[in-house]
Amino acid sequence: MSHGHDDPTLHPEVQMSTSRGYFSGFAISSILMFVATFLVASHAVPPFGLLMVIAVCAGIAIIAQIYFLLHIDVSEHNIWNTVALVLFMPLFLITIGLTWWMFSQLYLRTMIMPGMMH
Amino acid sequence: MLVDLAGGWNPMLGRLAWSQIPYDNPILAPLFVAVVIGAVLVLGLITYYGKWTYLWKEWLTTVDHKKLGVMYILIGLVMLFRGFIDGLMIRTQQAWAVGPHSSGVFGATHGYLTPFHFGQVYSAHGVIMILLAATPLLVGFMNIIVPIQIGARDMAYPYLNALGLWFTAAAGALIMISLFVGDFAHNGWFGYAPIFELQYSPGVGVDYWIWTMELLALGTTLGGINILATIIKMRAPGMTWGRLPIFVWASLASNVIALTSFPALQVALALVAADRYLGAHFFTAGLGGNLMLYTNLFWIWGHPEVYFVILPAFGMMSEIFPTFSEKPLFGYMTMVLASMAIAGVSWLVWLHHFFTMGAGPYVNSAFSVATMLVGIPTGVKVFNWAFTMYRGRLTFNAAMLWAIGALFLLLVGGLTGMMLAVPAINYMVHNSVFVVAHFHSMLLTIVYAIFASVIYWFPKVFGFKLNEFWAKTMFWLFSAGTALVFVPMYMLGFMGMTRRLDYVFNTAWHPYLLVMEFGIVVYTLSVLAFFALLYVSVRDHASNQVGADAWGTSRSLEWLTHSPVPFYNFAVLPHVNARDEVAWRRDNGIDHVQPDHYEDIHMPNNTGVAIVLGGLTFVLGFALVWRIWWLCAFSLLAIIALVIYRSFKGDPGYIITAAELEQMEKAAMRREARIGKQQHRVGSGVLGEAIAYARSDLPSLASQPGSTGGLDHRS
């Protein structure tokens, strides 16, 4: 019961978080989202290039959110965040990787080419 | 408006109109009258007996994990009943509407349900049974049992726990109100693209489905976070990872799945909502949409979800078999590894729900092999349970019967699952009722484990046992119903009957469908037996009272504290010496050692914020379904304001003083003495090394990170 009386603001994960971190995370993801929306709405890039640009934006946004908002890193005093990262990485690779694999096989057999679906 | 809505829209009421109330429906209108009369009766009785204050203070605002668990289980049982009625309606329609000469009533050409209504019934049946019956029942048991089994006073986040419950209740209310206001989805519980798109389903049914599922996903995720944090951080001194009861291990594995998979569902449904509300094209048939991407995203959650519901059931069976075999569980370490392996493999198999998509031999083979891998850890578990019972002193009481029933159904469901894992077979029986019979075998495994647990843990929570006769009667009726419904269903599956038929064209199937209809009547009798069980048990509760160790052969830590469990769980946190701590204490003669002094306990306060937030989320869901934008904005802002208010206010909690605690403990011990099954032999035969309770002059082991590592093989 000793932790019941602790001041929650003294926990290392609370100590590490700053409003500047949260605002940078929010700002970076908002900017990336607006860039992606603008590119889609304005048809400025050909379809295949658009997919690539959006994917890169999404990737950067994920990293920014994981780092700034979720404070997931590999530092030693945040061991549970590292555990979460270790759990997350394989799941991320499995879901994205296997989906990519099964749909590329599907497209191969149904002759749908990504970027030509208009 | 970004999309065109059929049937008009006005700023005040959104899509809501009198024509949306199905008062002309011959099934729903009488039901609505009955529900209103029933509700008035219940509310009137509460007022007449003056129980509103009690209800508000003891239940609606509680943060006690046991009461929240009981309410979860109540929601689960009510929704199980509703889902059963849906099942009864499906079976009756299919037994009736066979062949061109079958009669039709209530506007249906054949049978008594129109195809549109039938579609809503099976969709609601699926959503309710999986997400509103099985999940709340299991979450309820995890809520009640996990903290007591690890020697904690409450969950890590009591307020979050209440929030999870009230989100679940809000989702249940939302799906229930779809009966009487508007309609429900007709796209099956998992949804098909593009039929759920606005142009093919212009009504509000799909919107009800989206927001019900979103709310349930949110509630279950919050619950999962809570149980994980509780297991990791709140274990009693000496409760190392190697001493955790298997039910706790199963809960851990299960909630790792919940935490990692439910976001996939939320994303999938949010994208459907974007299609329907904003006119996006994620899953449309044209304009760059991809139909199969929805199926893919859904089952990325959907398959882990089915293991999320089966793993706690496995944990329950692992607690019940040893107790009534009077032996420790066979193969503890392999059981832990098997649970974790099932959780891990759950992420690699989702494509087997759509082998027929046509992703080709390499993809199908890979997912086929991954699916068959699940058979290895599951087989390990089955053999472990068999070896636990082997040469044990078996007691065939009602709880044990239900657990053994679960074991047999697991074999049936598991072996047919192995058949379905072969793509060649899967192409033959895809979308047939063989698949339906398979997953009902698995889901019924969970139902059997749940009823076993209801009987097994009921005395711990309420202090008296359920009636054995009626529990066994219910078991045999339920088992007869299961055999009569699902054996013909497997056979019809092989004969090529597809699922979800509102009209059965082949009259050769009629005899089988009639047998299934008879089976569902037997099921109905078992439901009546359950009501009799509750009535008789509560009526005779004075003569069925039990002490701390209700079964006399119990093994894990929850049986150490009093029955019914006091709201603080343990007056003094126990020191855990072994796996199966209660059995160890009994063997070493320290099972009746009482603490020599008490200390103040810090407990969380009740809060009304959680139920108000639940109510507001229901309003938000309802407003989103009917597109009443001002109400959406109002409820959303209220939710945000309330969350911020509560976060800054915090909860200082309150203190139970040592003197108060001693009084309550003495009352509990007097109760035990009166029941007479327990005799106090304070301090007799204590071994040299045994520690019954953590001493305040020593540092608490639970707060040292080092004590959580290392597996202890002493049992």
Q: What stretches of B496-628 show up as alpha helix (H) in DSSP?
A: 510-539, 581-587, 609-626
pLDDT of residue B614: 96
Whether residue B167 is predicted with pLDDT greater than 80 in this model: the reply is yes
Test B347 with A95 for CB contact under 8 angstroms. Answer: yes
Give the mean model confidence (pLDDT) for residues B302-323.
95
pLDDT digits (tens, 9 = 90+) for B10-36: 888 888 888 888 877 888 888 888 888
Contacts of A98 in chain B (CB under 8 A): 348, 351
Q: Is B90 on the interface with A (CB under 8 A)?
A: no
pLDDT digits (tens, 9 = 90+) for B475-522: 999 999 999 999 999 999 999 999 999 999 999 999 999 999 999 999
3-state percent breakdown (helix, strand, coil) of chain B, nearest 5: 65, 5, 30
Whether residue A4 is predicted with pLDDT greater than 50 in this model: the reply is no
Give the mean model confidence (pLDDT) for residues B641-652.
89
**B130 CB contacts (<8 Å, ≥6 apart)?**
B189, B305, B306, B309, B443
Contacts of B696 in chain A (CB under 8 A): none
Q: Residue B448: which of B137, B164, B37 has the closest Cα?
A: B137
Amino acid at B50: G
pLDDT band at A1 (very low <50, low <70, confident <90, very high): very low
pLDDT of residue B616: 97
Where along chain A do its domains lie? 18-70
pLDDT of residue B173: 95
Distance CA B147, CA B352 (A): 36
pLDDT band at A112 (very low <50, low <70, confident <90, very high): low
Give the mean model confidence (pLDDT) for residues B48-52.
90
Closest residue of chain B to A105, computed from CA coordinates: B359
Q: pLDDT exceeding 70 applies to what percent of chain B?
A: 95
Q: Is A14 on the interface with B (CB under 8 A)?
A: no
Q: Is B351 on the interface with A (CB under 8 A)?
A: yes
Question: Testing the interface with B: which of A62, A98, A110 to mutate, by most B Cβ within 10 A?
Answer: A98
Beta strands of B201-330 (E only): which ranges? none
Q: Residue B499: which of B442, B441, B431, B437 has the closest Cα?
A: B431
pLDDT band at A69 (very low <50, low <70, confident <90, very high): confident
pLDDT of residue A18: 78
Give the mean model confidence (pLDDT) for residues B620-644.
95
Contacts of B296 in chain A (CB under 8 A): 99, 102-103
**Minimum distance, in Å, between the CA of residue B581 and any CA atom of chain A:** 21
Distance CA B491, CA B671 (A): 55
**For all residues of chain B together, what is the average pLDDT?**
90
Closest residue of chain B to A77, computed from CA coordinates: B705
Whether residue A88 is predicted with pLDDT greater than 90 in this model: the reply is no
Q: Which residues pair with B10 in a beta bridge?
A: B14
pLDDT band at B375 (very low <50, low <70, confident <90, very high): very high
pLDDT digits (tens, 9 = 90+) for A27-54: 999 999 999 989 888 888 888 888 899 9
pLDDT of residue B712: 42
Q: Across the interface, which of B287, B347, B602 has its CB nearest the CB of A1?
A: B602
Test A103 with B351 for CB contact under 8 angstroms. Answer: no
Q: Is B358 on the interface with A (CB under 8 A)?
A: yes
pLDDT band at B689 (very low <50, low <70, confident <90, very high): low
**Minimum mean pLDDT range among B136-150, B190-204, B239-253, B397-411:** B190-204
Distance CA B399, CA A112 (A): 55
Give the mean model confidence (pLDDT) for residues B688-708.
49
- Judge whether B288 and B232 are in contact, CB under 8 Å: no
pLDDT digits (tens, 9 = 90+) for B92-112: 999 999 989 899 888 889 999
Q: Residue B202: which of B1, B17, B8, B2 has the closest Cα?
A: B8
Distance CA B10, CA A28 (A): 38
Closest residue of chain A to B232, computed from CA coordinates: A80
Give the mean model confidence (pLDDT) for residues B164-181.
94
Q: Is A92 on the interface with B (CB under 8 A)?
A: no
pLDDT band at A107 (very low <50, low <70, confident <90, very high): confident
Distance CA B710, CA B84 (A): 46
Q: Is A108 on the interface with B (CB under 8 A)?
A: yes
Q: Across the interface, which of A5, A88, A101 has its CB nearest the CB of B363?
A: A101
ipTM of this predicted complex? 0.83
Q: Is A77 on the interface with B (CB under 8 A)?
A: no
pLDDT of residue B709: 38
Q: Which residues pair with B432 in a beta bridge?
A: B498
